[in-house]
Amino acid sequence: MGIRATPIIYDFAAAKRLWARTPPWRGDSTPSARPLADRRDKHITIRSTDDPSSPVYCRLYNTDCVTFHADGTIGITGYPSKSTVEFIRRVVGHYVDPLRLCEAYRVHGGRVVRGPNITLRLTGDYSHPVDVVKSEPFTFHKLNRQKTTAFFKSLRWGEFRTWALTAYDILNGDLDAVYAAAVEAFPAVYDVLVHSDAPGHANSGRHLTQMVRQTVLGYSVHRLRDTEEVAYCTSYEDYMRRVQADRRAS
């Protein structure tokens, strides 16, 4: 059964009761570690002590992925693996949903916070939104349109594109010859190609100009992007918009 046999746990009290009524493995030298799923799955454990206020740890392999505290907080410790995502969803999926292998979490209530490690506080039963007590802020990048437009204008990009379409046809698709011809005609573009991974093959002049633009943009992107730090994203859609913009600016 593995992780699929892991029970849902709603709060500290439920976690403590589950630990208390679960017998440890026979002859185990660590009686505080007890089965959380099938008894043969010794890599899936629940751990605590007889102290009424001691935390309850839900562990997968060597990571305490979910920790229930007596003050009502729940600590989430993520790891970039599919099994960790599945484990967290099984135990506290009613409060939090790991995204992109625990890089972020969508918490009950709508917002998305940065992972892999966060702390939640329950505000009621499982039907109520949860508060995020602790998480690191996101850092997102986004291309600045004005900077990008001005940069390509400084390269005389429109002229280069027209020139490259013609040069590709005249030189029968020989990119080395095209680049050599660009040395004097468009030195700024050529300079970027020399210092970056210039396209080595193109199916057409249009294909060439598209790849050169991507090469130039990739080489210069650190100068053309803005950086924004946000405490959280207001929704999953907001998060994905920022992620996609960040990819384009990376």
51 plus 156 within the same structural domain = no
Average pLDDT of the chain to the nearest whole number: 94
**pLDDT for 125 beyond 90:** no
Q: Does residue 233 lie in a domain region? A: no
Reference 219, options 151, 160, 161; nearest CA is: 151
Cβ proximity of 26 and 32 under 8 Å = no
Cβ proximity of 41 and 19 under 8 Å = no
Q: Output the pLDDT for position 45.
A: 97
Q: Output the pLDDT for position 162.
A: 96
pLDDT band at 153 (very low <50, low <70, confident <90, very high): very high
* Mean local confidence (pLDDT), 85-107: 97
Rounded to whole angstroms, the Cα distance separating 37 from 151 reads 58
Of 112, 136, 160, which residue is a domain's last? 136
Instruction: Report pTM.
Output: 0.85
* Mean local confidence (pLDDT), 102-130: 91
Q: Does residue 250 lie in a domain region? A: no
Q: Which domain holds residue 16?
A: 2-136
Chain centroid to Cα 110, Å, comes to 17
Q: Output the pLDDT for position 1.
A: 65
Cβ proximity of 94 and 126 under 8 Å = yes
pLDDT band at 28 (very low <50, low <70, confident <90, very high): confident
Rounded to whole angstroms, the Cα distance separating 194 from 191 reads 5
* Mean local confidence (pLDDT), 125-150: 92
**pLDDT for 148 beyond 80:** yes
Q: In the structure encoding, which two tokens stand for residue 140, read together? A: 């997102």
Total number of domains in the chain? 2
129 plus 147 within the same structural domain = no
132 plus 154 within the same structural domain = no
87 plus 186 within the same structural domain = no
pLDDT band at 150 (very low <50, low <70, confident <90, very high): very high
80 plus 54 within the same structural domain = yes
Of 136, 151, 168, which residue is a domain's last? 136
Rg of the chain over all Cα atoms, to the nearest angstrom: 27
Reference 35, options 26, 49, 20, 46; nearest CA is: 46
**pLDDT for 161 beyond 90:** yes
What is the percentage of the chain residues whose pLDDT exceeds 70?
A: 100
Cβ proximity of 122 and 11 under 8 Å = yes
Reference 50, options 17, 9, 8; nearest CA is: 17
